[in-house]
Amino acid sequence: MKPGPTRTLVYGDVAVARVVEEDCELVSIVGSYRLLPGVRDDPTHAELAAWHDARVARAAARREGRDKALSPAEAERFGALARSQAWALVDADGTRCPIEVPDFLSGDKIVWRWSPR
């Protein structure tokens, strides 16, 4: 499949990653991504970086046959990010398309669903 458009993943007003759509599986869209430098470099975005890292570690553990659920402390810590309606993809024209919470996977892969909002 030919790669789809490149968009910017945002959380509220924070640009998080560049995303390239690669495939569609039923209602989920699969792509590749690169975190933007500011996510790790800016201390005000440390929670986003930590949440990303926890999701990637969880995906890697599942791939290795270890079903690693988030611990109760992680679920409490990251619950607001996971339930938030602030996630969106922004295209080159600046159009903001709301998505359900993205799922960061190992290998720089990402899965999302378009939100009906």
Residue 95: inside a domain, yes or no?
yes
Specify if 35 maps to a domain. yes
Do the domain assignments include residue 15?
yes
Structure tokens at 12: 């509220």
Residue 117 lies in a domain: no
CB 97 within 8 A of CB 88: yes
Number of domains in the chain: 1
- What are the residue ranges of helices labelled H in the chain? 37-41, 46-63, 72-83
Residue 1 covered by a domain: no
pLDDT tens across the length of the chain (117 residues): 567 889 999 999 999 999 999 988 778 999 999 999 889 888 889 899 998 998 888 888 877 877 667 778 888 888 888 889 999 999 999 999 999 989 998 889 999 999 987
This prediction has a pTM of: 0.87
Q: How many CB atoms lie within 10 A of CB 60?
A: 14
**Which is it for strands 109-112 and 96-98: parallel, antiparallel or unpaired?**
unpaired
Cβ atoms < 10 Å from Cβ of 9: 25
Is residue 97 one of the residues assigned to a domain? yes
Per the domain annotation, does 12 fall within a domain?
A: yes
Q: Domain range spanning residue 95?
A: 6-112
